[in-house]
Amino acid sequence: MTLDAPTPLAGEVAQRLRFDKAVLPNGLTVIGEHNPGAASVAAGFFVQTGSRDEQAELAGVSHFLEHMAFKGNERYTADDLNRLFDELGAQYNASTSEERTIYYGAVLPERLPRLLDLLSELMRPALRQEDFDVEKKVILEEIAMYEDRPHFHVFDVSAPRFWAGHPLGNSVLGTRESISALTRDQMLAYYQRRYSPTNLVLAVVGRYDWDAVLDQAERIAGSWPTFDAPRERPPAAPATGREGVVDPKLSRVHVAYYAPGVAISDPRRFAAAVLGYVLGDATGSRLYWELVDKGLADSASLGHEAHEDQGAFVGYVSSAPERAEEVIARYVEVLRRAQDEPPTPDEWRRAQRKLATGLTLRAETPLGRLPSFGATYQSLGVYQSVAELVDRVMNARIETAVELLQARPFDSGYVFTLGPGQRA
């Protein structure tokens, strides 16, 4: 099979980029991907803590704490922070997942020092009781909002069942019960266990002065106290088979699908990602042609999610209740049949190009590049440029996908339905 040669533009961009790294005496890692041709700069603190680090009584605390960081500290109020970010013209936000919490923003290069100052303030929240009480209501409303979005809710309900006790199945939002019972002191104790400089990465992407960034990082964060913040990584024994929950208020059936995959540290993850595109890309995949193109389902997809120590193929399909059983059967059959009918060279190349294009488009701006840059380094401890990632995708071998399929992961699939009258 002949590989596509990189375009001259891609080669020029790759040559312009420079990777910077330093570790402060207190253990805070500072990394940068310098691009002198960028018109902006993005920066963020990556905290290696998320829902997988929570016990049942703390379910949702990582996400709740993310909200509380914007409520201010002894130096700034919540109104101060919002106003100061806006005065910078910053695009800023935060997000929480199973494995990390990210606080980030993007500005014009001359405003980076002030952005770093503000982001550092988020890392030292006051966690005032009155703010906690108010924000708890916001979190409960957010939980209610997602419960009203079945295409999201089906994964929140099914993930704990698929992961069968493994912390990757913990809900990022938590539950009404866990959030209602959570106390400010429990959140403070969690913060004091997880927000160690050794558990943080400060990442910068775009046009910046590295020496100035490092000097400022030392000045604003060098005195933060350090402590161990270990993460448990138990083995997983995912569920198989089928389960479901009936919700008579729904008019459609929403289905979550899971099957075993590979971890982010496994070099086969690139082949697994391409395989996910072959089988379940939203357009032009085997599932699309079998279900969506034929008008049987309004949506049918599958992708591969690689976590630090585990991975999974995760999919979704929705349809009218009267066609649900046929749709589920066809969905599962497409995946099982792939184990005996692996991707053709044409399918493989199309999926590689789609995935490579998506990686490149997301990385065209510093803000688009920042999340994967920081998260990949935090998980693996190595720098991977976009050019390298694209190269890994374009060189992922069909033979590796065949090896993954020979393990017959889709014979161990787990199906979860949420809809009117649907039972396990």
What are the pLDDT digits (tens) for 51-65? 999 999 999 999 999
pLDDT category at 15 given cuts 50, 70, 90 is low
pLDDT score of 4 more than 90 = no
For the segment 289-310, the average pLDDT, to the nearest whole number, is 97
For the segment 69-91, the average pLDDT, to the nearest whole number, is 96
What would the DSSP string read from start to end of 318-374? EE-GGGHHHHHHHHHHHHHHHTTSPPPHHHHHHHHHHHHHHHHHHTTSHHHHHHHHH
pLDDT score of 218 more than 60 = yes
pLDDT score of 166 more than 80 = yes
pLDDT score of 420 more than 80 = yes
Least confident of 22-26, 280-284, 352-356: 280-284
Q: What is the pLDDT of residues 303-339, one digit of tens each?
A: 999 999 999 999 999 999 999 999 999 999 999 999 9
Closest CA to 38 of 67, 18, 62: 18
pLDDT category at 13 given cuts 50, 70, 90 is low
Q: What is the pLDDT of residues 100-139, one digit of tens each?
A: 999 999 999 999 999 999 999 999 999 999 999 999 999 9
pLDDT score of 10 more than 60 = no
Rounded Cα distance between 358 and 408, Å, is: 28
pLDDT score of 378 more than 60 = yes
For the segment 291-308, the average pLDDT, to the nearest whole number, is 97
Closest CA to 416 of 165, 242, 300: 242
The pLDDT of residue 23 is: 98
Strand partners, 44: 104, 203
pLDDT score of 90 more than 50 = yes
Rounded Cα distance between 131 and 28, Å, is: 28
pLDDT score of 141 more than 80 = yes
Calculate the CA 261 to chain-centre distance. Answer: 16
The dihedrals phi and psi of 344, each to the nearest 5 degrees, come to -80, 160
Calculate the CA 290 to chain-centre distance. Answer: 28
The pLDDT of residue 421 is: 75
Rounded Cα distance between 105 and 204, Å, is: 10
pLDDT score of 287 more than 50 = yes
The pLDDT of residue 16 is: 83
What's this model's pTM, rounded to 2 decimal places?
0.94
Closest CA to 181 of 223, 132, 225, 245: 132
Closest CA to 157 of 145, 175, 141: 175
Helix axes 184-194, 61-69, angle to 10 degrees: 90
pLDDT score of 21 more than 60 = yes
Q: What is the DSSP letter of 109?
A: G
Closest CA to 391 of 348, 363, 350, 359: 359
Closest CA to 356 of 60, 53, 7, 107: 7
Rounded Cα distance between 39 and 108, Å, is: 7
pLDDT score of 264 more than 60 = yes
Q: What is the DSSP letter of 131?
A: H
**Helix residue spans in 77-111 (DSSP H):** 78-87
The pLDDT of residue 364 is: 95
pLDDT score of 178 more than 70 = yes
Mean pLDDT of the chain: 95
Spatial neighbors of 192 by CB under 8 A, at least 6 apart, are: none
Closest CA to 6 of 310, 327, 345, 386: 386
